Amino acid sequence: MDLGIDLGTTHTVVASVDRGNYPVMSFQDEDGDSHDHIPSLTALVDGQMVHGFAAAAAMVAGRPGIRSVKRALANPAVTFATPVHIGDTAVPIGELLTSYLRHVIDQIHLNGADGELRVVVGVPAHAHTGQRFVTIEAFKAAGFTVLGMVNEPSAAGLEYSLRQSRTLNSRRTRVIIYDLGGGTFDASLVDMSGTSGEVIDSVGLNDLGGDDFDRVLADLVTPRITAEVPPRDSLLEACRLAKEGIRSQSRNALVDLPDETVRIPVAEFEQACHPLVDRSLSVMEPLSKLLQSDPAKSDVAGIDMVGGSTSLPLVPRLVRELFGRRVHRSPNPTASTAIGLAIAADPTSPHSIRDRLSRGFGVFRETNWGQELAFDVLADQNLRLDSPTTITRRYQSRHNIGVYRFVEFSRTDADGTPRGDLSPFAEIVVPLDEGLQRSGAPIDKAQVHPVDQGHWVEETYTIDSSGMVGAAITDLDTGWSVSTTMGRDRPVILPPSARRVPVPPAG
């Protein structure tokens, strides 16, 4: 069975491929009621992890649990072994995700699916390489066959092209995807001319989402509680439900607590949330520069609002005021991404999308005999992800040890200096001395010194179609090599070859 799975901060949504249709699967809770999602929750019961609706029930009963794991994934330093805490218990995040996804598989099988489960996975457009790596590895470890990974707003663009095709024509082919989920925010400008779309540019924030709106509401509610204040997790869940119940005509947000219902005027709540929405609009500035200022002459068909947090009326209102374009909101905004992922998983679908690298990457290196640092951009956001890309550099080393500090960045200045969201994501220390290589001893960076006739070095970088980056540094004189996929717990080292084999430099 081919599937699209949106592993969301709050909900996990699964859409299947069914002869050109993409139905969203329903799942039953502990009371037998059907829902179009599985809660993205994990709890500990008698020392064992439980997930989904069972975790929600356990957390209501006071058992320790964890919500918003996707926020932890957004840490640029995340690896499969990064610990997260369920109460006082530390669990590697990769192990937790794998266990949760096995639960998702069990729930899919209860829907009548059997055999191989082939899936296209969604990930925030501005997800760091580590998040992409851990997500894909967890899906594989759980038992899914991963067909690919698509940025979530790009998937929503595919769903838009199917649902709102009447708004697209030869003059208006572009769509802005505004995706405000439970834990992250992404926006993309997508050209959907014909059936093959292309991402023009993407922006995003890994620390903005519905969780932040829930905390704002909880802070407003707490001083008004006259009975016992419930545990923070229970209060946040009640605030989430109240937030999602707000409609354009609502005057109050009703927060149902065990012993009372607290009323918060919607106007007060929206005023407190205004800075959060302003953050999303501010980060969209690079997209606004690509738009025709006169909406009547614009090639933008509209703004597609997806993600559960766009249900708050304040959000589409402020977006409409800024861009002056028509706002379209999916009838089921929490399922748009999963449906788009299912379209991407459908081998018979005429619809496709060409994505771009949403975060550039580069390396800081020592120059001027170790006196200064320089930065080399290895790939930027103009790189298309149609197929894997390989970047190779070859040179003669000027030091006995190479120190490579890799970073991801959101933007660069005109001179190539990285700016904005700059995130270190790997450091590789490479001995370029045969004695150091053969000793196998830990390398002390204080041992770095210049050399007259250094070894020839080859750097090889690969970017796959999901945007994951791999790096390999090879001493061409000895064959010694170190490689890593950004997000892996530790580099893989290949020892030097048995004899010295000089390799002439390219060019």
**Tokens at 194, concatenated:** 């014909």
Q: Into which CATH architecture does domain 360-494 fall?
A: Sandwich (2.60)
**Domain extent listing, the chain:** 2-208+275-354, 360-494
- Architecture label for domain 2-208+275-354: 2-Layer Sandwich (3.30)
**CB of 5 within 8 A of CB of 119?**
yes
Query: What is the DSSP annotation of 208-267?
Result: -SHHHHHHHHHHHHGGG--SPPPPHHHHHHHHHHHHHT--TT--EEEEE-SS-EEEEEHH
- Round to whole Å and give the CA distance between 317 and 273: 13
Query: In what helix (H) or strand (E) does residue 67 lie, and over which residues does it extend?
Result: strand 65-67
Q: Note down pLDDT in tens along the chain; length 507 residues.
A: 999 999 999 999 999 999 989 999 999 998 999 999 999 999 999 999 999 999 999 988 889 999 889 888 888 778 889 999 999 999 999 999 999 999 999 999 998 888 899 999 999 988 888 888 899 999 999 999 999 999 999 999 899 888 777 777 777 788 899 999 888 899 999 988 777 788 988 888 888 999 999 999 999 999 999 998 988 888 998 999 999 889 888 999 999 998 899 999 999 999 999 999 999 999 898 887 777 666 666 778 788 899 888 888 899 999 988 887 778 877 778 899 999 999 999 999 988 888 888 788 888 876 665 566 778 888 887 788 888 899 999 999 988 988 888 888 877 777 767 766 777 777 888 899 988 888 878 888 778 888 888 999 999 999 988 888 888 999 999 999 988 876 666 666 666 654 444 455 554
